Structure formats: C-alpha cells, structure tokens
Amino acid sequence: MFKGAIVAIVTPFKNGSIDEQTLRELIEFQIESGTDGIVPCGTTGESPTLSHEEHDRVIEITIDAVKKRVPVIAGTGSNSTAEALRLTEHAYQAGADGVLVVAPYYNWPTQEGLYQHYKTLAESIPIPIVPYNIPSRTGVNILPETVARLAKIENIVGIKEASGSLKQMNDVISLCDNGFSVLSGDDFFTLPLLTLGGKGIISVISNVAPADMAGLVDAFEAGNLQKARELHDKMVPLIDALFIETNPTPVKAALAMMGKMSADVRLPLYQMSEANLGKLRQVMQDYGLIR
C-alpha cells in the first residue's frame, strides 16, 4: 500500500510557533520533486516537542496541502496506548491515508505488550497502520516474529524498519507476505533494502534532495541498478552530514542554507555547533544544493 520515497517532513517554526505557510511550501517542493508520500509529526517533525493541539494542526495542514496527490501517513505514536489511540483517531477523522506509530518508548514493553499495543490500535480505528521500529531511540526492538504476527492483522500494512540490521530487515521480509510494505527508516539502507524486497524509504534526506531519493527508487523499480547505485553513492556524504548531530537539527540547518525555512528547533534540541555547521555547509556546497 505504501511504497517509494516518502519524506519524514520537518516542522518549521517561526517565533516559537508553527510556520504554517512554510510547511505548505515545503510540501509543494516535495510533491513537485517526485516524492511518493508525506509523513508529518514523525521524529524529524519534532513530534515530542509539539503540544497535542500543534500535533493535530500539523496533520490537518499537511492533509489540506497535499489534497490527496500523494499519501499522508501521520505520525501518531506514543508510549501510552491511550494517547496513541487519541492521536490515531484524530488522524483518521482528519483524512490521513495511514498512520506511522513508533514502538512505545521508555517503558520497555515485552514482545507481547508490543503486539497488544498495535492490535488495540488496529481493532479500534479502521486506518492503515505502519509500526515504526527504531530501537536506538525507543529502547525496544520489535522482533521479526512479532512483526509477522502483526502483519496478519488486516490494517497493519507495513513497517518502518530502523533497527540498523539488514539481517533483521531480511527476516521481516521473509516472514511476511509480499503485500506487506517493509520501508527503510535509514536513508543509507534504501538501496540495500530494495534489493532484499523492501518497498521504499521514509526519508530524512528527502527534505533537502527529494528528487535524488525518488530517482533512486524509480531507477531501481525500472531495473536500472547502475543509476540507482550512482544516486546512492552521490547521497552517502550528504546522509552522513545530516546526522552529524541529532536529527532534525542538521536537516533544518540545511534547509535554512537553501533559503527554505528557519533553522529553529525546540529545546532540548539546540542549534548546531559552528564546527559541525561548517562541515555541513561544505557538503551542501559539494552536492550543489547551495553556492
């Protein structure tokens, strides 16, 4: 159901508030560049620092701006199942095409607890659900066997896999049927995952170089592995630079260099150090994104 190059879009801020006009402009930039879907209110969208009202508003703006041209997969995860239910219900009522639900963080649920968390969401709200596995941030790993159980639930349609393990990604693909979308949560693994049978990427780099990430996926699907590999190699230095500090601080700084938005992030994230900002600027220049 969900495939291709999907952007985990930033949430632009201005004077401490959401910059609604800039968010709409960023969405147009994405769609014009060939992006296959938009994820608002993910980690890259700084969802942990958004109030509930802001979270709901960002999703509503995104749905309105996209106007069904590509799927909107709203971030609605929480470490409280009740809160995830509320966020998911809002996204459903607002008209999202699906929801991205990060594994409950901090409270360390068991595999059965993870299964019951997602099962409760799926049985309560009839919207396509994509669990998000990122153990480095959540402290818990959704194991392939648990994903296989979840894949049997009709409206759990894929997973965003950011375990950092190609073996785990391969196991998930092997255990689930071909209709289940395994999406990379790490830009670097996009091409390797596609070769294993994955369906695409929920991407950070797409915020600044959407045409290249979309081009990589399109080239692979067209059987042009050489072009896909060339785009992969081209993007690797930029991917590295965008994670030189905690995401999304560098990608917001990069977008500011491109003149697209303010670099503002919310505490406890903080502006980049001058040394790392200089390194990012050099990579952006080498890539051709700025002069």
Annotated binding site for pyruvate: 44, 202
Degrees to nearest 5, angle at CA 158 with 152 and 160: 135
Annotation marks residue 3 as catalytic: no
Of the residues 3, 92, 160, 199, which is catalytic? 160
Annotated binding-site members: 44, 202
Q: How far is the C-alpha of 204 from the C-alpha of 194, rounded, in Å?
A: 17
Q: Which is catalytic among the residues 132, 252, 279, 287?
A: 132
φ/ψ region of 255 (left if φ > 0, alpha if ψ in -120 to 50, else beta) reads: alpha
CA dist., res. 163 & res. 133, Å (int): 6
Residues designated as active site = 132, 160
